[in-house]
Each structure stands twice: as C-alpha cells, then as structure tokens.
Chain A
Amino acid sequence: MNKSFKLEDGNFSGEIRMRIGVIAIQGDVSEHVHAVDNALSELGESSDIVEIKHSGIVPECDALILPGGESTTLGRLLLKEGISEEIKQAASAGIPIMGTCAGLILLAQRGDVQVAKTHQHLLGLMDTKVNRNAFGRQRESFETYMELPFLDSPYRAVFIRAPAIVDAGPDVEVLSKIDDKIVAARQSNILAFAFHPELTDDLRIHRYFLNMIREY
C-alpha cells in the first residue's frame, strides 16, 4: 500500500497535512505503513505516508520511521542511496524519528564487537551504544508484556533477534529495560524501540509517536 503524496494537496480546510516517511529499503515496511495509517484513522486525521527508497524524499517529510529489518543491509543501502545524510540533517532540524529493532541500531552512535566487525554504518543520532543481538539468536526471540511510562497498561512487545542499548548518555531518557538492557529510549525528537510495535494490533506506540509529531 503505497500512499504517494501530491504536492498540490498540501492544505485541507486550512489544516496542514503531515507527511510521514517510512524508510522502505528493506524490512517490515508495510507493517509500519499500516500501523501509522490505522493510528491516524483512529485519531480521525489524515496524512500522507511515503515509502522512501531513494534520496530526495526525506527533506519533504515531517516525521520518519526506520523499520525493522537487517541493520547491515539497511546501513549499506542507506549510504549507497544517499539517504543517510538526509536523515542526519532531518534529525538535527528536529524532525521526529522513530526506529524499531534494526532502526534502534542505526540510530546509535556506538556498537559492540558484532557491529564493529561488519563495519556497520550507524547514523549516530542517539548518545547510545548498542549490542546487535543482545538476547541471542532466533530461538531465543520472545514476546512479553512490558510497562512503558507513557502507557497506562502493559504492552505486548515482540523481540526478534533483538538488539538492546547497553550504554546511554545523560540526554537519553530510558523508557524501559529488560534486566540491565535498555529496550526503549527517547532523546528529544528521537525514539527507539528494540521490539516491534508494528507487528501487533496495539497502536498505542504509533499514537505516541504521532503525538510527538504534533508537539513538534
């Protein structure tokens, strides 16, 4: 479902339409598009959701999502396509960005041995250090209910070969931990989750992100 935007439909009854970009190079892109779309219709709002495979689109977006996928593949193609620099610029301009799983890795400044040995390209937008497969291989992948400070009841979180933040600077707000591993965090306009809010029908995290966009 590709909701491509048209420049002429910028204004609807005086209201400015948001343009939300989902990085669509690889991974569970359509799941994020559906989740954002559903969260928006719940709120009775309409926005343009753009799938981004090439450079030139990021600068026109009001918010960005980095989906789950393989971080090595995503990093390599983000560089190759020239999207990487654009995301960094958008981030410094204060554009809200949400990364899930591989997205959490890409947002980090530093990585563990695993990240280093693959020469993983990192965007470096959060003052964090990540561990690529912090919980083990696929057989160790899990789901669990967890508390998040901005939700009033537990959230069903799905961790798939999930990474974790193992070290975070003072500007990083830790939203949730499993043992000593940080699995949800925010640093001003940047939001990162080690799990996949796009894989369940619970839209509360996407709704939280949409609220962030409105605040911006």
Chain B
Amino acid sequence: MSWLDYFRAARKDEPPPSASAAKERLQIVLAHERIGRTREDFLPKLQQELVAVVARYVAIDPGKVKLDLDRGGDMSTLAIEIELPGPPANKPQQRAAAG
C-alpha cells in the first residue's frame, strides 16, 4: 500500500479550495457596493480635497501624488503619499505664493 500513500500525501499539498476565496471576496465587494447604492461614493472627492489642502501650503507636483485604496472586510485603508519638494534654494518669492 505504500505506493498508494505516495499519491495520498501528494493530494494534501493541493492548494486550498477556491470556493471559500470566492465567498470572501464577494462579501467584501458587495458590502462596499451596497453602501455606494444609497450614498454617493465620497472617496474620489475626499482624495481631491485632501490633496488641495496640502497644495495650499506646499507647492506640490500633482504628478507626484500616489493614492492607494484597500477595501477590506472590517476596515478600509486610504493611503495618500504626496512627495514634497526639497527646501527652496534662495527663492524668497515662494513665501508670497504660498500665502
């Protein structure tokens, strides 16, 4: 029987069944979509306004803003990474522009 055991052992290394992944992914995506049905999705606007606030104080390059959204089951994270320019080298007029 030992050669049969070989096949049995090999089966245990199979990846976990995919149906549970399907269920989990559906539950998360639908939880978010159902909220969106009754309320407008505020995230794009939130992102815009946050970046606008930063831009009021620091001259930022709009091309150097990185947004990452991860919609999770219990918690979603929104990460906004804004690259700030280095200290202005002898540019006194910068101050006036920021004010």
Does B bind A? no
Q: Give residues in A with beta carbon < 8 Å to B.
A: none
Q: Give residues in B with beta carbon < 8 Å to A.
A: none
